[in-house]
Structure 1
Amino acid sequence: MFGYIARRLLIMIPTMLVISALVFIIIQLPPGDYLTTLINELQAQGESGEERIAYYRELYGLDQPMIIQYFNWLWGMLHGDFGHSFEYDLPVSEVVGDRMSLTFVLNFFTILFIYIVAFPIGVYSAVRQYSVGDYSLTLIGYLGLATPNFLLALILLYIAKAYFGVDVGGLMDEQYIDAPWSMDKALSVLEHLWVPVIVIGTSGTASMIRRLRANLLDELHKQYVITARAKGLSPKKALVKYPLRMALNPFISDIGNLIPDVISGSAIVAVVLGLETTGPMLLNALLAQDIYLAGSFLMFVALLTVVGMLVSDLALALLDPRIRLGAEASK
């Protein structure tokens, strides 16, 4: 086990290097950069600003070849310097701080919602296969999968405004947006949290229900379950002891995707609902070619993805005895 973990950690190093190179190249592919956009804006306003732009190019190394810019950016990240955000005129670490905490809170409750709702419904649908409840829940699941999150967000916004006169957008009341954290601000966040949690969690819940139902049905029809029932094992024990444990694999394997989702957030839904999370920030950074902000954030998400995959693999090995790691798998 320890040897496997050590090998995976060593593999992460070249993996992250390749990802960093790809991220930097993709961000640099569009013509120009943030300062080029700034020049065009200044010229449209009748200003020049060429001296200031030249100063910024020299200060941040944008006048150097792309390979030099890449290694400077990589070296800075290794030393905890993620660069400077041109759009916000602040270090990247300061820009993402508050939004990162809000994104974490939002997606933590979303994941909690998905697991709490999907687990009992998936088990019920499998145990009561072809019942009225199974058909009803299956229909709801298909509707959840077929409805885009942003469309559901728009529908909720319209219903709340048209019929109740309530604005459900944002994560807090307007007076708390730039205010320091307090108990009132935290309560305001909790009051606004339920709408984005339901919107973002709907498709994930529907997908998880379908997978858990399919896996559990597959396990319930295997010979060892039939034998356990024939020996007089109670239906509850025959369900919980082995089939349900084996059917939990999709829940555990999803950890690799859920960990980066906790930070990255749902960008399109966040834009529609006006959420102060990292999704819209990343989208704006890519549109504005704010290379250090966008690149550093994408690298952080990539790191969380790689770590999440390792955690999910280890958790699967502990949960399911059929899964073996490293050399054990080849024997």
Structure 2
Amino acid sequence: MEKFAEKLSFLFRPLLSFRAKFPLLSFILTRLLTMLVILFFLGWALFALMALAPGDIVDQMMTQQIMSQASGTGGADRSNTKGLDEKQTAALRAEMGLDQPFTVQYFKWLKRVVVNHDLGVSLISRAPVSFLIRSRILNSVVLNLISLVFITIFSFLLGVCFSSKAGTKTDLAATFFALFFHAFPGILLLILFQLFASATSLFPVTAYPDFPFSEAQGRFVFSYAHHVFLPLLASFLGGVGGTMRTIRSTMLDQMGLPYIMAIRARGISEGRVYLAHAFRNTLNPYITGSANLLAGLFSGSLVLEIIFSYPGIGRLMYEAVLQQDVNLVLANSMFISSLVLAGMVISDILLAVVDPRIRYGKE
């Protein structure tokens, strides 16, 4: 037993030595490896869920074909149609590889992605999946980044402001409205905004201009801002409440700590106490939760894109799930999950940068 332990420690000695010399790099590599493992099992689980769903894309295609044939012929011979249906269904499943177990399908897809860097083609439109994602992902990223920037700026401004007025009527009113909009159903808020846009005609009922960016860049920017104002306002109201309360509570906790009283006793101005000392320590919980906030924005943008007809990745995912387009669903899910996991890794690195007390690998 002791010899086995010695051999095991000998094998792991280079890893431990590397971790001791490069603690932060070792931490980043570990998180990246963990991210790859999570993505692997996530893809397998998605294939399993799609396999458990009743029917598949071939059933939908054949049903639509039979309905069109029946409507065109006024009710043809059902027995011949059924036999033709079964033969075509088997041929299509074999052509798309859907007749194999989902684990085999997943490993074939994984091999094609890793080795050939090919995400495959959509089973419905027959267009390359990479092209469909590229045409939509930029719209979703821009929308969510704008929302994240506004939520971050106003959350810090309002959180710091109301923490200095704790217990006042202004603070109580702000807390009430923050809780109200945080608890208000986001889908209902989006529907109400769309009804407002339809009734007043002040804003478009869709969230994207009806002409491309290449046609007129300047006019597109103003038109885009006009179209996305209401969806962004709904996203802002739903996200700023919880983040603002987190910043406010963290600031209040910091202001009651002994080091703040020591700084005040040295005669430092109250503004500097707030901004230069207490404010910096409020970054820690926000950076930790920023990855979850980004994930929530991406998941919430699914409903936004459907209601306001925004051509983003969420709407593409919704259409792919309805049509059971396995290649498109898996590529979308893996791409969004990669963004969220990468955001978590980046938040951990930023946390080590902004907080000098955190030193990975040091005692």
2:104 is the alignment partner of 1:71: no
Per the normalisation by structure 2, the TM-score is 0.82
Q: Which amino acid counterpart does residue 212 of structure 1 have in structure 2?
A: I
Give the direction of change, closer, same or farther, for the CA distance of 1:274–1:180 in structure 2 (3 Å limit).
same
8 Å Cα contact 2:122-2:328 kept in structure 1: yes
Letter paired with 2:47: F
Classify 1:65/1:158 alpha carbon distance in 2 versus 1 (closer, same or farther; 3 Å).
closer
SS of match in other structure, 1:84: coil
Residues 73, 182 of structure 1: CA spacing in aligned structure 2 closer, same or farther, 3 A cutoff? farther
1:117 equivalent in alignment to 2:154? yes
Q: 1:279 offset after TM fit, Å?
A: 1.4
Partner of 2:38: 15
Aligned counterpart, 2:239: 204
The answer for the alignment partner of 2:197 in structure 1 is 160
**1:292 maps to what in 2?**
327
Instruction: Verify the 8 A CA contact 1:225 1:243 in the aligned structure 2.
Output: yes
Could you say what secondary structure the match of 2:100 adopts?
coil
Counterpart amino acid of residue 35 in structure 2: M
Once the two structures are TM-superposed, the CA of residue 56 in structure 1 deviates from its matched residue by 3.7
Structure 1, unaligned runs of 5 or more: none
- 1:1-80 counterparts in 2 under 5 A? 1-46=24-69, 50=85, 53-78=89-114, 79-80=116-117
3-state SS of 1:172 partner: coil
Q: 2:182 aligns with which of 132, 139, 145?
A: 145
Output the CA distance in 2 between the equivalents of 1:322 and 1:129. Answer: 28
Paired amino acid for 2:132: V
Q: Using the TM superposition, name which of 208-217 and 123-132 deviates more.
A: 123-132
**1:136-187 deviation line (CA, Å, top 9, x unaligned):** 211220121121222112222222322x23452222344x27x865424444
Q: 1:147 to 1:262 in 2, by over 3 A?
A: closer
Aligned length: 325
* Corresponding position of 2:129: 92
Matches within 5 A, 1:297-308: 297-308=332-343
CA contact (8 A) 1:264 1:278 kept: no
Counterpart among 296, 311, 318 of residue 346 in structure 2: 311
Mapped contact 1:172–1:185 kept (Cα < 8 A): no
C-alpha distance in structure 2 between counterparts of 1:23 and 1:322, whole Å: 40
Corresponding residue of 1:242? 277
Contact persistence 2:44–2:103 (CA under 8 A)? no
Match of 1:274 among 304, 309, 312: 309
**Larger Rg belongs to:** 2
Deviation of the 1:229 alpha carbon: 0.7
Q: Distance in 2 between matches of 1:147 and 1:14?
A: 36
Conserved? CA contact 2:191–2:307, under 8 Å: yes
How far, CA to CA, are the matches of 1:28 and 1:186 in structure 2? Answer: 43
TM-score by length of 1: 0.90
Aligned residue identity for 1:16: L
One-letter code aligned to 1:89: R
SS in 2 for 1:168: coil
**Percent identical residues:** 27
**CA deviation after TM superposition for structure 1 residue 124, in Å:** 0.7
The CA distance in 1 between the partners of 2:174 and 2:101, in whole Å, is 57
